[in-house]
Each structure stands twice: as C-alpha cells, then as structure tokens.
C-alpha cells in the first residue's frame, strides 16, 4: 500500500507521568511507523480534565508529555505535534458529534464502564469522552489510528459517529480505520490489571533507576506458579520468548531474582531515552507546540468549515 498521502493520528493524555504501558502500547508503535505517513500527534489535555483538576500539575504534565515524545524519538519536523486545547475546532466538533449519538450508545463504552467500576467519578466529560475523541480523529481526515486491541472500540465509535453524521448531512467526514499492530496489546500493570495511571499500578517510563526498581518489586506474583505471569509479560516487551523461556526456566521459582533481571533490562532499555530527555528545554517544547498548533489548524479549519456548512451554521 502506498502510504505517502495517508494520514496517521495518535495522542496521549497529560494526566501524569508516562509509564511503559503508554510507551509500548501507543508511543513506540507510533515512532516505528509515523515517518511513512502524514502524521499528527496530539497532547490530549482536554481529555485529561476527566482526571486532573490541578492547574499547576496539568501545565507541568503538558510540557512533560511533549518532552517524552521527543525523547522517545519523534522528530517534530516529520510530523505535527500539537496541543488539543490550542485548537478549539476539537470542542466544537465534539459537541456536534454528541448531538448525533444516543445515551444508550455511549453507555456501552468499555472504557467508561471500566473506569466507573474502578472508582473513577462518572462525570459528564468522562461519559462524552468518545465523541470528543472522535472529533480529534475526523478533524484531520485521519486514515489510520495506531492502537492496541483494547482501543479498538474507540475507533469503532468514531466510525459510527462519522457515519451517522454523513448519513444525515452527506459525505463530509472521513471514517478512519484502526491500525492494530502486531505485538501491541494490553501491557499489564504491577497488579495484573491493564497498566494505567488511574489504577496506580504503573512502571514509570522516565523514572529513576530506583523508582523503576521499586515499581517492579511491587508486581503481584502467584506463589502457586513456577513462572510469575505478570513479570514475564512485562519482560516479554524487551526480550524474545525463546530468550525468556530459557531465562525463566533457569530461575524457576526464584521470583526475586527474576524481578532483578527485569529491573536491569528495563533500566538498560530506558537509559538512552532518559539522557535525550534531559537535553530538551522548556523553550524547545513551547516552539514545538506553537508550530504544531498552526499546522494542525490548517487542516482542521477546513474540515470544520465543511461541517458548519453541512449543518447550516456557516
């Protein structure tokens, strides 16, 4: 397939320090593929309001997530890095798409039900989250959204909303496809659930070696098993199954030793990114976001103009 003129979009919430689940689940797949497309990468700060209501923390997180992207290898000259809140087209189209779908439809969202079940406040913003996310995607006439299998429903929701709009007003919005990459799935957290800042079960991506060690030591293990399942699953992000099977057979039943080996491999893997991140200044981040907002609006303004014309408020 010729991908030269195809668009790719992804994003991460600045809701806290990134963890290895963010990296292997979203950031690395993007880094590995973005140069093959016309690529957009979004700092989803409006989405972060569903979990972060401290302005100082949010400001810091926004800059930090841009640093993380750059440290992970994203070149801002080869893609558009922008902040969601710098472009009001997102919230306007999000509202329009909310008017296209029903409450029962939104109630079926797996992410919403899962977060509420785990004690997250069921705010209206969290409930309507899928339609703002749909707006994020269709504003840029996105062809593909790289995601893990657990994110497939988000893209399906986007297609549903765009399709319903198009049936009502004509073919205005492009319906995107998910790009489910091989080997990308749910990264387990230290408690065995999906690694998530909401669950406080993460291993920090840019933490100190000591912080990584502390997180790994807290991984839940089953004393009835010879192989600690969650330790092995995280380790498999770094080594092949053949390497790990041999290593874990040699250390069968020695959970502490296996965790130490995981700590060593994680810190070796993360150190080059830590060093790159230290070189990125606040001014570097501000300039990247300024340039990105301008480039993002050049695309989204056209989409929203067509939407406004279609619904009769141009």
At 75, list the tokens. Answer: 């070149």
Coil, strand or helix at 196: coil
Give exposure, 183-219, as e/b (b: 16+ Cβ within 10 Å).
ebbbbbbbeebbbbbbbebbbbbbbeeeebbebbeeb
pLDDT at 133 over 90: yes
How big is the CA angle at 125 (ends 176 and 189), to the nearest 5 degrees? 75
Angle subtended by helix axes 124-138 and 152-169, to nearest 10: 70
What confidence tens digit (pLDDT) does each residue in 81-94 have?
A: 999 999 999 999 99
pLDDT of residue 1: 43
Under 8 Å between Cβ of 122 and 116 = yes
Q: Is 252 a catalytic residue?
A: no
Q: What's the pLDDT tens digit per position in 1-26?
A: 445 689 999 988 898 888 999 898 87
Please tell me the predicted confidence (pLDDT) of residue 184. Answer: 54
Q: Which residue has the higher pLDDT, 28 or 103?
A: 103
SS3 72: coil
Q: Which of 28, 115, 174, 259 is catalytic?
A: 115
**Which position has the token pair 């919430």?**
13
Predicted confidence (pLDDT) at residue 212 exceeds the cutoff of 50: yes
Residue of 197, 200, 260, 294 marked catalytic: 197
Catalytic residue, candidates 28, 78, 164, 194: 194
Task: Provide the mean pLDDT of the chain.
Answer: 91
Q: Alpha-carbon distance 26 to 147, whole Å?
A: 6
What's the pLDDT band for 182 if we cut at 50, 70, 90? Answer: low
Q: What is the mean pLDDT of residues 203-217?
A: 96
**Tokens linked to 135:** 């707006």
Are 144 and 7 in contact by the 8 Å Cβ rule? The answer is yes
Average pLDDT over residues 167-177: 97
Please name each of the domains of the chain with its CATH number.
Answer: 7-186+282-311 (3.40.50.620), 207-277 (1.10.240.10)
> In angstroms, rounded to a whole number, what is the distance separating the alpha carbons of residues 84 and 45?
6
Q: For position 181, what pLDDT does the model report? A: 66
Instruction: Find, among 141, 236, 219, 115, the residue nearest to 185 by Cα.
Output: 236
**194 Cβ neighbours under 8 A, 6+ residues apart:** 21, 150, 186, 187, 188
Residue ranges with strand state E in the chain: 7-12, 38-43, 80-83, 144-147, 177-180
Q: Is 128 exposed, middle or buried (0-12, 13-18, 19+ CB in 10 A)?
A: buried
> In whole angstroms, how far apart are CA 161 and each of 16, 134, 138, 245, 274?
29, 7, 10, 45, 40
- Is 194 known to be catalytic? yes
In sequence order, what are the beta bridge partners of 38?
Answer: 7
Length of the chain: 314
Per the CB < 8 A criterion, the answer to whether 7 and 38 are in contact is: yes
The three-class DSSP label of residue 176 is coil
Q: With pLDDT > 70 as the criterion, what percentage of the chain qualifies? A: 95
> pLDDT confidence of 185, banded at 50, 70, 90?
low
Rounded to an integer, the average pLDDT of 210-221 is 96
Helices and strands: H and E segment counts in the chain: 14, 5
């Amino acid at each position: 397939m010729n991908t030269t003129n195809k668009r790719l979009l992804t994003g991460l919430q600045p809701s806290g320090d990134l963890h290895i689940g963010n990296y292997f689940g979203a950031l690395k797949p993007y880094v590995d593929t973005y140069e093959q497309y016309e690529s957009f990468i979004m700092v989803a700060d409006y989405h972060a309001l569903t979990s972060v209501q401290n302005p100082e923390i949010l400001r810091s997180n926004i800059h930090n997530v841009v640093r993380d992207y750059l440290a992970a290898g994203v070149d801002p000259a080869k893609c558009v890095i922008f902040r969601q809140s710098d472009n009001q087209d997102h919230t306007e189209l999000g509202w329009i798409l909310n008017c296209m779908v029903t409450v029962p439809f939104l109630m079926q969202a797996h992410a919403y039900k899962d977060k509420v079940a785990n004690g997250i406040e069921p705010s209206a913003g969290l409930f309507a989250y899928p339609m703002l996310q749909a707006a994020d995607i269709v504003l840029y006439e996105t062809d593909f959204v790289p995601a893990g299998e657990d994110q497939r429903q988000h893209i399906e929701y986007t297609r549903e909303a765009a399709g319903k709009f198009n049936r009502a007003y004509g073919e205005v919005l492009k319906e995107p496809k998910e790009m489910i990459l091989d080997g990308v799935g749910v990264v387990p957290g230290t408690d065995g659930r999906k690694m998530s800042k909401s669950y406080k079960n993460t291993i920090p991506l840019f933490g100190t070696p000591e912080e990584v060690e502390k997180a790994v030591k807290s991984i839940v293990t089953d004393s009835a098993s010879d192989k600690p399942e969650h330790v092995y699953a995280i380790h498999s992000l770094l080594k092949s199954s053949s390497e790990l099977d041999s290593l874990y057979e040699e250390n069968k039943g020695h959970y502490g030793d296996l965790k130490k080996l995981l700590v060593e491999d994680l810190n070796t893997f993360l150190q080059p990114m830590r060093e790159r991140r230290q070189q990125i200044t606040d001014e570097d981040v501000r300039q990247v976001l300024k340039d990105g907002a301008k480039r993002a609006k050049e695309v989204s303004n056209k989409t929203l103009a067509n939407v406004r014309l279609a619904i009769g408020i141009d």
